[in-house]
Amino acid sequence: MKIERKKINVGVGFVTGRKNFKNVVKTYVDNWNESGFSDKKKYALHLFVAYDLKYKSTKVSDYKITDEEILDGVDSAYYLGDSSITTEAQYLVEKKVITLKEAKLIFGEGYAMKRNAVLYFALKNKMDYLIFLDDDEYPIATIKINDSIVWKGQEVLSTHIKNIKNVQMTHGHHCGYISPIPYFDFNDKLSEDEFRSFIESISNDIINWGSIKEKMNDGGVTYADLDIINSEITEVVKEINGMKFISGSNLGFNFKHIDKLFPFYNPPGARGEDTFLSTCISEYNIRKVPCYTFHDGFSNYEHLLLGVLPNKLKTMRADSSVITKRFLKACIGWIRYKPLLLYITQRDDYEAEIMKMKENLSNVIPNICNYFGNEEFKNILNELEFYDTHVEEHYKDFEDTKLAWSKIMNFLKII
């Protein structure tokens, strides 16, 4: 008798809040079907969608897939709204797996917690792998050749599946508008040295002046490397200052050893959930895989999903209120998690580093406000003061989140 081979269950996870979500999903499902990996006898594709109705004032119908063509390409779809996540958290509390306080750390309010919900439901539903994608990243790469750009489709899902079998995580590349920092024309209001001091004060080891300057010289755009696209070689993600940097999207998890999984975390009101995960995985085998996603960071290129390929990309100048507000929001998000990141990675030098940040920011923020004509940038100092004051509390929450997650992982092993 012929034994039927077990299917490989591939989860595709989204944390989403945008109305164009269905177009993004269709693009990735079509991309999967074109890749040659969509053999339904071997692979089963499952969607895990954690949605936020408040982010862009959306409704549930903006996320529930009804397109028969998409439904034919997936084996199941799980929609994780606040009520379904809360119900599952209550179940874990009733089973005495975790306490109510721990449930709030894992599944409460925040972007990290929605990522944790996707991780949890994918594990509970026996996925072999999970690949996180963002709703503003598309499976296409933009390449600069002389003064022209060309576009090349990217087989994102299949590239992760090809390379994930013997590693804990896979991480792809990003191009497009991957930074919210716009292009600056420096002048007597704000010099390059002053802006450099500002960026170095609020940034982490990835968002640093060297990488920002390079992007600014290209009008704020990061272009794909043709050598990487044409390669099948993966790179080892190396440890930097106790961290192996990954981003929350174009990111694959191997669920073979769930005791090696860590949760996402961010301080209340902050981002950085991928950065804090990076501090947990220094012993992981993580591979950078040769595929790109195009990050539509300013939501100007949704027409890429419809096959409209521009001949040039806009320079995002710091000359509009929309771009200014997005930059300010990003700065607030960064400064809210910088104290905890320093506390984790540079504990012995924490006080000195924070004092240096406060001094540098006090000197340069008046010029930032003057440059943008926006006094709200002064709030960055207030935010730094608050998150510095509460850093030990946030560190305890981070450690408690990891402990609660390990209890959940032990529970999932036996059900």
pLDDT tens digits, 124-166: 999 999 999 999 999 999 999 988 999 999 999 999 999 999 9
User: What's the number of CA atoms in the CB half-sphere (13 Å) around residue 222?
Assistant: 20
Q: 105 or 1, which is more confident?
A: 105
Residue 216 has pLDDT above 90, yes or no: no
248 close to 273: Cβ distance less than 8 angstroms: yes
Q: What is the pLDDT of residue 40?
A: 77
Mean predicted confidence (pLDDT) in 388-413: 97
What is the rounded average pLDDT for all residues in the chain? 93
Query: What would the mean pLDDT of 251-277 be, rounded to a whole number?
Result: 94
pLDDT confidence of residue 239: 92
Q: Show the domain range for 18.
A: 8-180+219-315+402-414
Per-residue pLDDT at 206: 61
The two structure tokens encoding residue 321: 């209120």
List all residues 6 or more positions away from 414 whose beta carbon is below 8 Å from its beta carbon. none
In a domain, 18, yes or no: yes
Q: Is the pLDDT of residue 77 over 70?
A: yes
Distance CA 405, CA 415 (A): 16
Residue 387 located in a structural domain: no
Q: 3-class secondary structure for 4-40? A: CCCCEEEEEEEEECCCCHHHHHHHHHHHHHHCCCCCC
**Looking at the predicted structure, is the pLDDT value of residue 82 above 90?**
yes
Q: What is the pLDDT of residue 205?
A: 59
Select from 282, 271, 396 the least CA-distant residue to 343: 396
- 149 occurs within a structural domain: yes
289 assigned to some structural domain: yes
Confidence of residue 2 (pLDDT cuts 50, 70, 90): very low
For residue 151, which of 229, 239, 204 has the smallest C-alpha distance? 229
Determine, yes or no, domain membership for 362. Answer: no
* Beta carbons of 401 and 263 less than 8 angstroms apart: yes
Rounded to two decimals, the pTM is 0.95
User: What CATH number should be reported for the domain holding residue 299?
Assistant: 3.90.550
Note the pLDDT of residue 262: 97
Average pLDDT estimate for 183-196: 89
pLDDT in tens, 290-334: 999 999 988 899 999 999 999 999 988 887 888 899 899 999 999
The CA angle 65-71-75, to the nearest 5 degrees, is 115
Q: Distance between CA atoms of 9 and 173, rounded to whole angstroms? A: 24
pLDDT tier at 3, thresholds 50, 70, 90: very low
pLDDT at residue 169 is higher than 60: yes
Any domain includes 375: no
CB contact set of 170 (below 8 Å; sequence gap of 6+): 160, 163, 164, 234, 251, 252, 254, 286, 287, 288, 289
**Number of domains into which the chain is organized:** 1
Alpha helices in 190-320 (DSSP H): 192-202, 209-217, 226-229, 273-278
Q: What per-residue confidence (pLDDT) applies to 211?
A: 74
Query: 377 in a domain, yes or no?
Result: no
Q: Which of 217, 203, 176 is nearest to 299 (CA)?
A: 176
Whole-number pLDDT of residue 207: 63
130 falls within a domain: yes
